[in-house]
Every structure is written in structure tokens, then in C-alpha cells.
Structure 1
């Protein structure tokens, strides 16, 4: 009997043990299941033997994915490995890290060797009994660089056509865009009466640099604190030869002609589209709207388009790109303008800030109307035939971009009103999405998720309008009496490594296995499949293209270095998003769910408390840490997060000498072991340094555990504040994915310490040593101080030696 299995992308090496040849095209007739002889399991509940992802993001980060640390051997551990060893010593404390942020930037890691972290521990800094030194090259990781990826390939500048120079007469440009100039009395001016000016560029107050022969359009500034009209007098200094301002609005005296229009902000998109030759009309464009799932669905769609051989452009949260070459917001091929200090590093270092230089950065999901057209033109001019665009809800409300990009396919992923962008209401989001679909051009296709009531109503209204073809998709059976879904999930299966979705489409049934975790990604996979169907892409290419996407940066990104537990990095950061991520993760069958996250500096205390409540409710073991504290103090942020814990947890150890839900470096050294003991009792750890928190979580994981590192996703930086009056922050390189991979590379050396108990903090050679260690610390404290805190006695009760010390202290008083 022939079993049904998935199809592998022919341009990607199949994972070991799961190789399957592509079948003849005759097997993929409409309405048939994709049958292939089975050469291995179609879905793995255990860890799949797949190679490490090869992706540009990892290469750009300087990540050494294939290297491992030198072995620490089977050295005897003479003392407990406590949190102080892991997190650093001396000046390496959270407070010192904040105060010395600028100094760390200036010395450029010259004092790295003074910081003792988990790397040091497992590479031999604890030493063996004979004090054998570790190879210095092995400590630095330099010997691994030969096996590391070579980094980003050379930009293929010579392979792309040279973008053309564009020149317009001012009157012709306004006429092509349908923008009418108004006279002082508000009457429309004939185009022939406009000044004879040549326009070579468009410019706004949001443009990064001045441009010659430009038309300056007065639009609101992106920071919402200023308006382009306020800078009209400076526009000529930036190359402007004319200014387009709102009728009736005063502008500073200007040395170039000022034209008046009814709404310059609304005119900008039409002007930009006309100036760049309406690039989207030359492209097959797929656009995505919704609160969640746009990035994942867009990347999967990009993969299936590239599988057909289409040169595809991308505009979204992670990058603007054509093929594997990134673009800047001007639509030009991006290249670093400065050296990248992290290029030769395997990871960052604890309590240090590495300058964020030579990086691509994180673009705005949807650029403003001018730069949206610039990037689309940059894609089209270089020969692309397709484009995938994410449309944020903010851009839908602010810019109404759908008419100017004229998508061939517009996909609605979902609308979760419990997790909307800051400042937006459910009513405003619903209205913006409805308007976007109402603006579709005749002959286009609307792909709509009808799983919820809003999606079903949206599909009905678009179908009634008759302008666009409607393709319904659903992750669940449609209610009786409702139109059936055209694309729906017939069956799903999930593990801590991957997800399998069996999909029914108008062209037949298919099966995809993706390295995405949890039921939340079923809808994203369906959106990509439906987009492929809307573009009439053959099902084999849909399957192969989606499975050819090795990784979607920071979106449930599985970090697989051959370990027996799963590690995933995800961008979930809001309370509702974290709760949803943990709810889906808890259904994956993991032995334990370990979570690393932190509150952000730009969040309110109430939002941080809600984040803490969600994390506590969903995690078996929780590590609270930093997540770009920005203009706030890390310990203050964590105190807000902890405030969301249940009262029964917060009020434990009320008689303790110091609050116990804080970083061990915030308390005296003698108390740190007691604090970690308290935190171990409930599995809630506070480790402000994110580098150390990730390493400790990975060090404590056991087979079949799942570690979720939440909050940053694809973001590869952190922002800190040194207390300056102006509130300026220091931006440093930090990539969760790089840190996880580096820590996993060190794990084999750590696992050679067979009798090291890593179940709790502090780590000890034998479990029974933990109690003896704490008792000995207390005894030494009593000898030196002659006093004892009642809270310290509560840990294990007084030993005879401790009791004698207390009695002696009392007698001496």
C-alpha cells in the first residue's frame, strides 16, 4: 500500500533520514491526494535530524552555527556552581552594567576575560584538580571560525538591471497622479498654469537625506510631534525646487514656489506611484492584513513564489528585499556603512554592551507612501515579477495604501481584539480592514480567514460587492448555513519540533510539515496555501516552496543543534501574545515548559504586571530578564512584572532579609544562595542579564523539555539607559537566536560533568551538597557577624554548629 508523505523542496537538501524524491507531475492531478512512496516518517514527534538552518539573518549576525566549544573534560567540580559564577563577578552586576554602559562601549570588550560566565565554567575555568589550562584559542572560539558560514554573499549588483533615472515636468507629474493644485480662492488651477520645473525626486520631512530637484510634500512627521509644513522653509536647502502644501495652511516664507492642494498627505501616495511608474502594476502583488500572522504567512508565500522561479520582492517587518539581497527604505541595495563589531563573535558577553553598528536593523513593517513606492520600484527595476507586502493596521488607517499598490491578492489573516497595536481600537481596525478590501481592483482575489465572525462578515460583504473573487479559508469547520471554506485544515499534528497540516484546497489535498510550533501557525500556513491557490501555483510547488523555508526569523524559530530538548525563539511580547504562545506550547507534549522573557522599557507598569501574570500561569519554569529596558531601570521593570504573580507566590518568605524575587546580584553575596534557594522552590528565577538567563535556562533543560525565549524575535539589539538627563539610550547588539545557538554549542562540554546537578540553582556536584553548602554559608556568616536573620534559619533550620554560634553571639552581647 502506498502511504502519503510530504514533498521536499528540490533546491534544499532534505534532512537526513527523511529524503524523498519528487514524484512525476502526473501524480498531482486536481482533486487527488499527493501520493509518494514512503522512505521515512512523515512527521517526527522526536527531534528531527535536520541540518542547521542556513539563512541570511544568521549569517549577518556573525553566528557560528556549526561550531562547538572545546571540551572541558570530565573535570572534578570542587565546589557548587552557583549563580554568581554564571552571571559574573565584581563589576559585572546589573547596576554596574548600567552605570558603565558608555565605558563598555569605549573599551570595546577589552576586559572580556575578566567576566566569568557559563562559557568560562564549562570551558575549564572551574578547572580540574590539577589546574589544567584551557586552550586560549578554544576559549575565544577562533578555531571555529574556519567552519563558520562565510557571511552574506556579495550583493549581486551586476546581475540586476540598473534602475532608471526618472525626470518629470511638475505639471505632468501632478496630472498623471490626479493631484489638482488650488488657487488662493480655492479654485482649481489648470495644469498648464503650473511652473515649468523639472522634478527628479520626491521629498518629505521623513526622508533620511536631501535630494536634488525634488518636490517637497508637506505631510505629518512619523514621530507625530511635528508636521512637514513647519519645515517648508528648509526644504530648498535639501534640494527642493517646489513645495506642495495644504490649502489654507500657513507655511514659513519659502524661496521656491509653493503649490496648494486639498490634502497633501493623501496626495503623496498617488504622486509617488505616478513618479515611479506605478511599479505594482508591473508586479504580481500579494498583500497581507490582520493583527497577527502577516510575517509568517508572507514568508511562506515568498517561499512558494520563489519555488516557481519567480524573482520576488519582500516588504515587511523583518526586511525589505529582492531574492536574498536586502533593500533600504530608498529601494537601493543595502550594504553596511561601517564595520560590524560582532562579525567575528560567536555571541555577546554578559554585562557588556557591544555597539550596534554595521547592522541592517529592523525596518517599519509598512513604510510611508513615498518609501513604499520607492521600495516597490527598487524591486521592479531590478527585474522582479512578484512582490509580497505586509500592510500594518497603522498604515491602513494612516495612508490607505491599497489603491496605490493594487494587490492582485489581498489576504486577511486574523483580527485579535485582545492584542491590538497600541493606540488602536477594535472599531478602527475593523473599519480599516473593510476599507482595504473595498478598495480592491476588479479582477483581484480576496483571501479571507472566515474562522471568526468578523472574517465571515467580511467575506460576505466582499462577495456581495462583486469586485473581487473571494477565497475563504478556515482553521475550523464553518458553522451550518455559512458558505463552506475553500481552503481548510483537515488534520493537524504538533510536536515540540514541528507542525504537520493536511489541507484541502480547490485543486486537491496536500500535506506540509513546517518548523513552526503550535496551532497558532495553522492559520498562517493556510493563508500561504490559499495565496498560492489564488495565483494558480501548482500544489507541488506550494508544498515544496513552503517546506523550503528553513526558518522565519524570530517566528517560533526552532534552534536545533542536536540537543534532546527543543528551543524556540518567538516575538510574542504583549500579555495576550505571551498567554497565547504559552497556551499553544503547553499542548505540544513537552516534559516541561521553560520560558525566558522580560518586560520592555516602553511598557506601562500595568502591562508589565499583566505580562507577569500570563507568564506565571503558563510556564513550568520561568526566567525573568531584560528585554530592551530603554529609559527605565531593569530592576524596576522586573518589580512590575513580579507584581502580576499571585499573592501566594509574592508573599512567600516574608521574613527574609531581602526581597527574594530579584536578581541575586542585587543582594549581598552571603545572601545569594538563600535567594536562589527561594526562587528554586517555585521555579521562578530573576536573572537581569539576558545572556546569562538564556544560558542558565539551556543548562537546566532536560530531554523533551521545551524552552521558549520570548519577546525579541528577530530583533538583534537591546537598548539601555545610563541615567543621563536627556534620556539618551545606548543600543547594543543582542540576538536571542545567536545566543541560544552559542549556548547549545557549549552544552556537550557541560554535559561531560556527569555528577553536576543542574536541576535547580545553585548548581552543585551532588543534590545533597546544596543543603550542606547553604548551612556552611550561614555558619560562616554567624561566625563573622555574630547575628542571624530569622529568615535564614527558615531555610533548613539551625544545625548544631549554627545553634552554638547563635548562643555564643547572644552571650557575647
Structure 2
């Protein structure tokens, strides 16, 4: 593609030498992956500044550089005032505005994002539609999966994924949208059709200045709804009306609105709710009618996730019978309130709960049907928001009968400092076992018939990061191994 074409959305820029008829073969923002003929765009990231790697990109064969200041190179340099925005614009043009040829559904909030995207994926596939999914666990395009580094990729990767989806004849793209991505402009140029807000509780305050800044970042998805560079299709915002922040999110968008809730009078609601160890039953009330749901997903929070997914499906023209079938046949998401069954007489659940609110919700769900005692094994990640650590401990202490604090991903931090942050204010008894496998084994050996054990914080993760090294560690795998060993060698 001609370089001049990639500049058509940029109102002002200057060049250090004539661009003439330069043809760009690709776009790169990482000198390590730059190829011959690429446009190399310098991004000032959290960990590195692309302006410092221009010569490496030139050595790899880059044809043009885009930067926010003059750089040392023999290549033509296009200087713009904001390379993050310019990257999104150039990527959108290069890949042919692919998100405008898809139905794009974005889900944001502290908890529930992953489950909602998986529920929507099941609904649309049950309606014989090809889907694409971008989120915490993986990227999926028409059934093929790819690993991910961030919950929401950068704008260049997003446009590339959307282009691949279009090529694979995908009709609906479903993605998690993190506060970091919104704040850093990673979704600039992404033409969302439906935006979903789940809830907002303490998280990521290691990145955001305060809770209000976190809220501001999340609300950008709704303020920017209709965010694509070519206009046309109708947009919708779906808001959890039971959330304390619902009004703020409702005010942030001018687009068509659909609300959901259980306690508030909303457009989509759950009535006659029955919760149990085998799932949740309720009446799904919608503007299109009512239908009975009997889902294997446990807990009130799962119902909220289903209400949000139902709203997006209804706005996409999916019949209630298809929604019902997907909800009742779903196997859930790995690491999201995932039961572990190896013939033991008590329940074991793996959950990603890594915020005070999500941990409280998970423990409250267990208390709704647990006939005995509740055990929880939980820790806090290192190099992350320290302010939430005592709140995590409080959620565990207030909702569980037996609490075992252990490591999560300590990263570069000393686990003893993390434990100190979590427990220094506590007076009630708890146990502290630094080795996570030993902590899980201790809980499983102590539990008795009718009890429930919650192993929280890591969910789907298959590693534990210590001092910059990721060691294989899977909570579900470890729990199954211990339970099998206990069955073979009963104490």
C-alpha cells in the first residue's frame, strides 16, 4: 500500500524527506518483528520507547518511520503529534477497516468479562454463525486459537485479528476490553456495535491514580461508542443497572440503551431464582418475552453474566430458544467457578477471583448451598495494586470458615511482604503456607464430607511467576493430582 494512502486520516504531519512513491509492505511497532518494507511506528510504551529502536528497525529493512520527534535514521520520517492515534488510523486503513464489516461486541468491567464473552460465543455458534473472540485466555478465530499477552491487544494487533476474522467469514467478534487498553488507546479505530458494562470494584489501582480514574477509563468504551472512522450502523450500550456506577455509565453514552439486573427494574431481568450446587434456575424476562432457564453455572454472579449475554444476543436478533439452549448446555469457562471432581465427599472449586468483590461473590455463592464448612486458599499477586491486599484478606476472613493464605504470582516481590500487607491488621486466626501446592494439599486433606474448598486467584492460569520466571502451575491440575493421590493412599 502506498505510504501516502496510510496518511489520509491524519490532518497534520511533516516529513523529513519526500515520500515519493514508497510502498509499505506492513506495519510494525516492535523493531524485533519489523520486516522489509515496513512502516515502523515509534510508540512510547510502559516498558520501552520505540523512538530508541529506530536504527534496529532500519537494519531489519523498514522503509519509513513514523515518530513524535526527530530520530537518527537515513529513512524518511513522518512526524505526528500522537503516534498511538496514528498507529490506529494507519492500521485501520492498511487492513481495510475490518471491524466495520463485523458485528463487534465489547465487554468491560471488573468481573465477568471472560464468562460473558464465552457465553456469547456459544450463543452465536448455536445460531450457526462464525465467531471470533479476543480475551484474557486466548484469541479464537472461527475455531482456531492463538495465545495472547494482554487481555486487549494493541490497535495494530486488533486490526490484524479483525482482518483475519473477515477473511475467515466471521460475522461476530466478541472481546474483553480492559481499563488499561481504554486508557492507552489500544481500541482506537475499533468500531464497536455493542458495549457491555458488568460491574466495577477495586482493581488495578497500581495503574490508575484512584478508583474514579479507573471508572473514567472504563467509561471510555461507552463515550467512544461509534468509535470507527467510517460511520453507519446503529450502536447499543448494555448496562448492569444493579451496579452502583450504573448512572455514570448510562450518562457516558448517547447511544441506544438496554439495561439488565435482578434487584432493579431493568429491561432484562431474572425472576424466580433458585441456586444450588448443580447450577441456577430462573425465568429470563426480556423485551422479547420470557423463558425458563436451568443452567449448570453456579451462583448469582453467573446469572448476571447470562443476563448481559442475553441482552447482546437479543440486540443481535438471536431467538430466545437459541439463548436458552446455549445457557443450558454451556460447560462454563476454565478457571471460572470450575468444579473439580475426583470422587471426594466434599466440593472443590477453582476460581479466578483476584479482587475483593469477586472473592466475596465466590464465597457467598458457596455459602448458598454448602452444608458444612468453607475453606479458601488465596493470595495476592506481586508487583500489583498493594492497596487491595487487606481487602482481599477481609473478604476471605469474613466469608470463609477456614482461611489459608498462600502465594499467587509473587513476581519480583518477597512473598513475606505480600503476606504482611494482607494480614497485618487481622486478629482472628488464619493459616499461612507459602508453598501454593502445600497450601492446596492442606485444605484438601482437612476438608470433610459436606464441606467446600475454594482455590482462588489464578483460575485458568497455568503458571506461577517468581522472580521473573514462569513455572508451570495449574490449580486444577494440582488439585486433581492431590485428590487422586489421597484416594490411592488414604490417611
TM over 0.5: yes
> How far is 1:227 from its partner?
1.9
Conservation of the 8 A alpha-carbon contact between 2:205 and 2:214: no
Structure 2 distance, partners of 1:730, 1:615, is 28
Aligned to 2:436: 690
Pick the aligned partner of 2:2 from 166, 169, 178.
169
Structural RMSD (CA) = 2.6
Give the secondary structure class of the aligned counterpart of 2:118.
helix
Aligned to 2:230: none
Conservation of the 8 A alpha-carbon contact between 2:15 and 2:78: no
> How far is 1:747 from its partner?
4.3
Structure 1 residues 218 and 632: alpha-carbon distance in aligned structure 2, compared to 1, 3 A threshold: closer
Structure 2 distance, partners of 1:749, 1:184, is 72
Aligned to 1:476: 263
Aligned to 1:741: 480
Structure 2 distance, partners of 1:642, 1:457, is 34
TM-score by length of 1: 0.56
Structure 2 distance, partners of 1:459, 1:612, is 33
Q: Deviations over 1:459-480 (max 9, x none)?
A: 3564xx3xx32212112133xx
Structure 1 distance, partners of 2:257, 2:469, is 48
Q: Which aligned pairs between 1:2-401 and structure 2 lie closer than 5 A?
A: 168-175=1-8, 178-180=9-11, 182-183=13-14, 194-205=19-30, 209-223=33-47, 226-246=48-68, 249-251=69-71, 253-328=72-147, 363-399=149-185, 401=187
Aligned to 1:656: none
TM-score by length of 2: 0.91
Conservation of the 8 A alpha-carbon contact between 2:154 and 2:186: no
Aligned to 1:786: none
Conservation of the 8 A alpha-carbon contact between 1:232 and 1:254: yes
Structure 1 residues 381 and 209: alpha-carbon distance in aligned structure 2, compared to 1, 3 A threshold: same
1:581 is aligned to 2:406: no
Conservation of the 8 A alpha-carbon contact between 2:15 and 2:77: no
Aligned to 1:452: 243
Pick the aligned partner of 2:459 from 696, 700, 713.
713
Structure 1 distance, partners of 2:298, 2:290, is 22
1:731 is aligned to 2:449: no
Give the secondary structure class of the aligned counterpart of 1:240.
coil
Structure 2 distance, partners of 1:307, 1:550, is 14
1:431 is aligned to 2:216: yes
Give the secondary structure class of the aligned counterpart of 2:335.
coil
Aligned to 2:402: 621
Give the secondary structure class of the aligned counterpart of 2:63.
strand
Structure 1 distance, partners of 2:163, 2:42, is 22
> How far is 1:693 from its partner?
2.1
The higher relative CO (CA closer than 8 Å, separation ≥ 6) is in 1
Structure 1 distance, partners of 2:316, 2:385, is 44
Structure 1 distance, partners of 2:32, 2:140, is 19
Give the secondary structure class of the aligned counterpart of 2:383.
coil
Between Structure 1 and Structure 2, whose CA radius of gyration is higher? 1
Structure 1 distance, partners of 2:261, 2:309, is 12
Which structure has more strand as a fraction of its residues?
Answer: 2
Gaps of 5+ in 2: 227-232
Aligned to 2:291: 510
Structure 2 distance, partners of 1:380, 1:548, is 28
Q: Deviations over 1:550-595 (max 9, x none)?
A: 1312111122334332211111223444344334433334411111
